Amino acid sequence: MRFACLIVGLFTFFQCQCQWRENTSPSYLELIGYLQKIDKEHKEIKLFNMGNSDFGLPIYLLVINAEKDSLKTFQKARKSTTILINNAIHPGEPDGINASLIWIDEWIRQGKPNKTKNGESLPVIAFIPAYNIGGMMNRSSTSRANQNGPEEYGFRGNARNLDLNRDFIKMDSENAFTFARIFHSLDPDVFVDNHVSNGADYQYTLTYISSMKERMSPALQQLTYSNCIPNLTKNLASKGIDLFPYVELKNQTPEGGIVAFNDLPRYAMGYSSLFHALSFTVETHMLKPFPERVEATYQFLDELISWTTNHSLEIESSRSEAIQWSMNQKEFRYNYTLSDDEDSILFKGFESTNPIDSTTGLKRLFYDRSKSYFKKVPYYQTHVSKSEVKIPSYFIIGSQEKEVIERLKMNQVMYQTITKDSTVEVNRYRIEKFKSLDKPYEGHFKHHSVQFEKFKVTQSLKKGDILIPTKQKAMFYLLSTLIPDAEDSYFSWNFFDSYLQQKEYFSSYVFIDQAKFILENNPKLKVEFDKRKNENEQFRNSEWEQLYFIYKNSEFFEKSFMILPVYSID
């Protein structure tokens, strides 16, 4: 009997160590089944159903170093140092699922240590085992044409064919609402989103994206770039794994230059950076075999967890400093673009050539893996902001903007509801120019190249409108979404499109008599009108243009046209 137990024990041990290191990744149901079993067996590990997905199945959260119940566990997470690891936002890139399972099994095998030898406490470690449930359920072996394993995997689009890694501001998916619930229930200090790259060929298996340094507070920038990344790089190197920044190309090949990634708020890590979490995206290289990518992701997670354990005091203090720093800012800078400042970085690549291809008869790009190099390549890692605004003290949003207010609530924005009708001097925003995409991007004809005018007006506010102080933890989230021309503003994501359409017009044959009267009573407008008539032939020959000009500059023109329902107070 004892012998049989030993065999079963050995088998379990063998299975735990190996099953996630094969060229396969579990389906959603296999994954959740396994985690439910672990949750039953270990009181320090808890699996929570955190809410719905677009597919209809729940999104789970597995917490290591948990407490007795959910209330205590989430309290502990918010109070102490917490890491959140997100997997399978792109289910075709399931490396993080296997890596997380290996980490969890290994922790159990080591006796679930919650202190290091030096007495440092293990952080709360929370895994979203799989975020894109619809994509997890849509499995095949073909949707990642250039990827080396696993045998079967899920699809990038979710149940509504959304790329969830563009959805964190607009929140079209139910998944995004569940994510916001998870994120703010934990208030993670460190966040990791696991992916697999597309793009160039090179020697590295493991690359990472870190938050764009120009958007970070000095304290977090220092901790990330002078402490965390050098430590991870050194410790991973001692395990034989090179850690390298994500290879985003300036031109065709890495030799033409690598650029630092701009983690806009729409992305998972850009979103978590808004709330001053130390944020990383792991990108393993698509052409390396799945087990090798899983191992690299596992080692990254393991090192990041160790670093977090050993630096929890610095992390906590840098985060509070960052939040304080953000609230002390007078100006908000946004719309960052890459600068031409050229740096260089030592890079392990493959030489490339452009032979004629027999299929197309044209030159192709060919990376010669027999010719590796280690040399400096241009590195563009500086961004500059194109826009800057003075940070207002308050924003006000009309109560009718329920979709935006719902998103603010999910992001734990603090605000007051106006209890009686009142008047106040506010800034309003008039959209002067904008362009929209001519094909939908993630379900939106998104606006860009926005120009707006800010003007002061005495505004009546109605009961139910909301007054939002900007000095709060969610400050960068508020500014990034409510300033009309910010890259990921709610205006750009089409939340205020109804204000872009004129509702009333005039009949020319009636208005022409009023127009005469308007000009007689407004000499300044008459001068402008005559000048335009003299100078512009098209205007001179168009009754409609002339009358519309007078109409637009008269009291008859609607006051709400192109003016947003978001106001601010200096």
Q: Report the candidate in 61, 52, 25 with the shortest Cα–Cα distance to residue 134.
A: 52
Per the structure block, which two tokens stand in for 288?
Answer: 């390396």
Q: Of the two residues 90 and 407, which places its CB atom closer to Zn ion in the complex?
A: 90
Which residue type, as a one-letter code, is found at position 189? Answer: D
Per the structure block, which two tokens stand in for 515?
Answer: 């127009």
Least distance in Å: CB of 308 to Zn ion?
23
Residues 312, 225, 310, CA angle at the centre, nearest 5°?
A: 20
The mark string for 337-366 relative to Zn ion (x by CB under 5 A, - otherwise) is ------------------------------
Per the structure block, which two tokens stand in for 320?
Answer: 């509070």
Least distance in Å: CB of 158 to Zn ion?
13
Indicate which single residue of 46, 57, 77, 90 sits in contact with Zn ion (rule: CB under 5 A): 90
Q: Of the two residues 93 and 302, which places its CB atom closer to Zn ion in the complex?
A: 93
Q: Of the two residues 96 and 254, which places its CB atom closer to Zn ion in the complex?
A: 96
What does the alpha-carbon distance between residue 60 and residue 69 come to, in Å, rounded to a whole number? 15
> From the DSSP assignment, how many helices (H) and strands (E) are in the chain?
17, 20
Least distance in Å: CB of 229 to Zn ion?
21
3-state secondary structure of 376: strand
Least distance in Å: CB of 281 to Zn ion?
8
Q: Of the two residues 45 and 268, which places its CB atom closer to Zn ion in the complex?
A: 268
Q: Of the two residues 92 and 392, which places its CB atom closer to Zn ion in the complex?
A: 92
Q: Of the two residues 48 and 127, which places its CB atom closer to Zn ion in the complex?
A: 127
Dihedrals φ, ψ of 44, to 5°?
-85, -5
CA atoms within 13 A on the CB side of 180: 22
Q: What is the DSSP string of 162-189?
A: --GGG-TTT--SHHHHHHHHHHHHH--S
Residues 390-409 that bind Zn ion (CB under 5 A): none
Q: Of the two residues 195 and 285, which places its CB atom closer to Zn ion in the complex?
A: 195
Identify any residues that bridge with 448 across adjacent strands, giving them in sequence order. Answer: 435
Identify any residues that bridge with 332 across adjacent strands, giving them in sequence order. Answer: 389
Residues 482-541 that bind Zn ion (CB under 5 A): none
Least distance in Å: CB of 392 to Zn ion?
36
Which residue type, as a one-letter code, is found at position 195? Answer: H
Cβ-Cβ contacts under 8 Å for 169 (sequence gap 6 or more): 265, 266, 271, 407, 480, 481, 488, 490, 493
For strands 422-436 and 416-417, give the pairing.
unpaired
Q: Of the two residues 267 and 334, which places its CB atom closer to Zn ion in the complex?
A: 267
Secondary structure of 198-227 in HEC code, one letter for each residue: CCCCECCCEEEEECCHHHCCHHHHHHHHHH
Query: Applying CB under 5 A, which part among 86-94, 345-353, 424-432, 488-496 lies near Zn ion?
Result: 86-94
Query: Applying CB under 5 A, which part among 63-71, 84-92, 358-366, 371-379 lies near Zn ion?
Result: 84-92
Query: Applying CB under 5 A, which part among 10-18, 36-44, 189-197, 379-387 lies near Zn ion?
Result: 189-197
Query: Applying CB under 5 A, which part among 145-153, 191-199, 442-450, 561-569 lies near Zn ion?
Result: 191-199
166 in contact with Zn ion (CB under 5 A):
no
Least distance in Å: CB of 251 to Zn ion?
22
Least distance in Å: CB of 173 to Zn ion?
16
Residues 92-111 that bind Zn ion (CB under 5 A): 93
3-state secondary structure of 17: helix
Q: Of the two residues 285 and 473, which places its CB atom closer to Zn ion in the complex?
A: 285
Binding-residue total with Zn ion (CB under 5 A) = 3
293 in contact with Zn ion (CB under 5 A):
no
Q: Of the two residues 246 and 379, which places its CB atom closer to Zn ion in the complex?
A: 246
Distance (Å) of CA 386 to CA 338, 383, 434 = 10, 10, 16
Least distance in Å: CB of 314 to Zn ion?
30
Least distance in Å: CB of 53 to Zn ion?
18
Say how many C-beta atoms besides its own lie within 10 A of residue 22's C-beta: 14
Distance (Å) of CA 436 to CA 263, 431, 445, 491 = 22, 13, 6, 11
Least distance in Å: CB of 418 to Zn ion?
42
195 in contact with Zn ion (CB under 5 A):
yes
| Interaction site with Zn ion (CB under 5 A) | 90, 93, 195
